[in-house]
Amino acid sequence: MSYNPEVWTISSNEALKVSIADDQGYVSFPPLFTYPIFGDSEQIFGYKDLKIDLVFDSITFLPFLKVSYKEKLNDEVDDITAKLLEFLPKSTIVDDEVKWVDAFKKEQEELIDYNKEFELINTYNVKNEEFSIFKTSFQTSEGEKTKAVDLMKRLQIFVLLFIEAGSYIDTSDELWDLFILVSNKTKKILGFSTAYSYFKYNGAIEFDSNPNVKKRNKISQFVVLPPYQKTQHGSSLYSSIISYWNGNELVEEITVEDPNEKFDDLRYRNDFKRLFEEGFINQLPKNLKTIDNKWFITNANKFKIELNQFKKLVEIGYLYTENIKLARLLIKKRLYEKNRDGLVELELAIRNDKLQTAYESIKQEYDRLIDSIRVRAVNDIGSSKKQKV
């Protein structure tokens, strides 16, 4: 037997195939990350022709796991099935596909009635199909566990596989909420988001005297499953959550936890669209003197947008309305204030050169976002009742 490491080593990203199955068949896709399960190198040693099939029913998300291989080096190498089961719910069915099918079909007959057990926060249409977004908590007001806990245990592995540095949340913490995106026609789950509510502490007197404590709400994990991406669902899920929180007077600020570049784009597009449709972008001040920090804070609070995010949206707004001069001045001012300690020590010419270089890089990124905003506005079906971006 050959002990050449290359012969016995395979990428865990290539070995693992994730699938979502329905009565028409299944759709498969590779994970983006497997290091939370198999280590930073994302490699598995000790097997030849290793195949890991992780399949979910599209409605109940009951998992099925099957690990197969042509040859195993010895009994001392990692047990792949055991390793994966550490991250999957106890309901996971291993190897026995018939048992899995029977189990999820039985569960489908006793399916969660989202309309009765969850809170409906929005309904929308894509290509003549209706979708709904529901909100639920992991505990009742009496502190009892809800059905959302078991559902989250099935969905949470997608956080590890598709969000860099993603981790499981503590469903025993009553401040967590779960948002679920569901097809009204098929009952399939298309995506989900977890969110956390912080108490916003503004001082002891205000905090102690107010029975309705203000909150700072944070989107923590946000997943639209790969088969349903690039079809408006991400924007619909995000904007529905934001609209829901905007309607709650106790929510003072909305933030996002460590967004990646792809989610940042979605966030910018939808936040900008909201500011535009409410008329804010076309009413931006024409004089830089009126745009002080107090102005930023007042308007950021009005729209419940985190301050730094709001400043960037204003910069994008000036570029969008082709007020390049004010955009350039605002961007350079923000950059200077952020990096003041390092910049003040430089000669004026070098300082200006660095600011200009940074400005050009940011403008290029903003221009890319603006192009995306314009393209999506053209294809924004159903927005005729509002002013288009």
Superfamily of domain 5-109: Histone acetyl transferase 1 (HAT1), N-terminal domain (3.90.360.10)
From CA 219, how far away is CA 112, in angstroms rounded?
24
Type of residue found at 265: D
Q: How far is CA 132 from the centre of its chain?
A: 17
Q: How far is CA 88 from the centre of its chain?
A: 21
Task: Tell me what pLDDT residue 384 has.
Answer: 37
What does the H/E/C string look like for 337-348?
HHCHHHHCCCCH
Percent of the chain topping pLDDT 70:
92
| CA 117/CA 98 separation, integer angstroms | 30
Greatest mean pLDDT among 72-76, 95-99, 145-149 lies in 95-99
List the structure tokens of 162: 């598709």
pLDDT tens for 334-357 read: 999 999 988 988 899 999 999 999
Query: Mind listing the pLDDT tens digit for each residue in 110-138?
Result: 888 888 889 999 999 999 999 999 999 99
Q: Which residues are CB-neighbours of 232 under 8 A, at least 6 positions away?
A: 126
Q: How far apart are the first and last CA of the chain?
A: 65
Whose CA is closest to 147, among 99, 91, 223? Answer: 91
Average the pLDDT over 83-108 and give the result: 96
Catalytic residue among 257, 315, 337, 347: 257
pTM confidence score: 0.90
In the residue annotation, 206 being an active-site residue is answered as no
| Res. 288 pLDDT band, cuts 50 70 90 | confident
Q: Encode 286-302: b = buried (16+ Cβ within 10 Å), e = exposed.
A: eeeeebeeeebeebbee
Question: How do residues 8-25 score in pLDDT, each as one tens digit?
Answer: 899 999 999 999 999 899
**Cα(55)–Cα(198) distance, integer angstroms:** 35
113-258: CATH number:
3.40.630.30
Name 224's bridge partners.
191
36-84: pLDDT as tens digits = 999 999 999 999 999 999 999 999 999 999 999 999 888 889 999 999 9
Give CA separation, 350 vs 29, 343, 353, 360, in Å.
49, 9, 5, 15
In the chain, where the domains are located:
5-109, 113-258, 275-388
> Within 10 Å of residue 345's Cβ, how many Cβ atoms?
9
The tokens 């399916």 sit on which residue?
111
pLDDT value for 386: 38
pLDDT, greater one: 29 or 199: 29
The answer to whether the 5-109 and 113-258 domains have the same CATH topology is no
Q: What is the model's pLDDT at position 203?
A: 57
Taking alpha carbons only, the member of 291, 306, 326, 300 closest to residue 257 is 306
pLDDT, position 206: 54
Given the structure tokens 């985190």, which residue do they identify?
306
CA separation, residue 130 to residues 30, 59, 186 (Å): 28, 16, 10
Confidence of residue 385 (pLDDT cuts 50, 70, 90): very low
* pLDDT reported for residue 388: 41
194's enclosing H/E stretch is strand 189-199
